[in-house]
Each structure stands twice: as C-alpha cells, then as structure tokens.
C-alpha cells in the first residue's frame, strides 16, 4: 500500500508572531529577574550587582541599536552606544574589582 507523503506544517504569519511575542516576553522576564537580582546583590553588599547591572545596559543597547538599524535615526545610535559603553564599563569594573 502506498501512503501519501506526510504533510509538513508551514509556518504562517501567526506562527511567526507567536514566536516573536514569546521572545519578547522571555526578554521582559529576564530583564525583570536581572533587576531583582541587581537589587538583592546591592542590598547584601555583593559585588555581583555590577555584573547584573551591566547586563541590563547591554539589553538596552541591543534594543536601541536594533531600532537604529530599522529607523536609521541618530538618537537611537547615540543612546545605544552610550548604553553599550556603560555596560562595558560596569563589566570591566566587576572583572577588575570583583
């Protein structure tokens, strides 16, 4: 008996929107968790708050640089590079001082 080939589901626009929304929600939850972790580390006197805060700046920089790529508006580039510089400064400070 010859079975017809199994159909593979095709990703449509709805699937792409669901994937994009899932990534957005996961990023928002990670940002929230990082903010909480930064506060906990700062309150406890743990130097890891610098590393956690740098992650937040890297996330902001990524979003702003992505917007610059889409809109080509210089304020996004300036703010994105400033956030990236702040994130790099914090991570270097954390690596050096502990």
**pLDDT tens column, 39-72:** 999 999 999 999 999 999 999 999 999 999 999 9
Residue 94 has pLDDT above 90, yes or no: yes
Confidence of residue 90 (pLDDT cuts 50, 70, 90): very high
Residue 83 is assigned to a structural domain of this protein: yes
**Mean of the per-residue pLDDT values for the chain?**
91
Residue 3 is assigned to a structural domain of this protein: no
Count of CB atoms situated within 10 Å of the CB of 67: 16
Q: What does the pLDDT read at residue 98?
A: 74
Q: Which residue segment(s) compose the domain that 87 sits in?
A: 17-97
Tally of structural domains, the chain: 1
By the 8 A CB rule, do 84 and 58 touch? yes
Question: How much is the pTM?
Answer: 0.77
Q: Provide CB contacts within 8 A for 55, sequence distance 6+.
A: 34, 87
Residue 50 is assigned to a structural domain of this protein: yes
By the 8 A CB rule, do 42 and 49 touch? yes
Residue 88 is assigned to a structural domain of this protein: yes
- Rounded to a whole number of angstroms, the distance between the first and last alpha carbons of the chain is 69
Whole-number Å distance between alpha carbons of 66 and 53 = 20
Residue 9 is assigned to a structural domain of this protein: no
């Amino acid at each position: 008996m010859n079975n017809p080939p199994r159909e593979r589901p095709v990703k449509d626009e709805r699937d792409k929107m669901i994937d994009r929304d899932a990534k957005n929600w996961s990023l928002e939850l990670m940002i929230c968790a990082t903010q909480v972790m930064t506060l906990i580390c700062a309150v406890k006197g743990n130097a890891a708050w610098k590393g956690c805060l740098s992650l937040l700046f890297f996330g902001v920089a990524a979003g702003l640089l992505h917007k610059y790529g889409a809109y080509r508006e210089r304020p996004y580039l300036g703010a994105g590079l400033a956030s990236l510089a702040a994130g790099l400064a914090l991570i270097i400070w954390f690596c050096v001082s502990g």
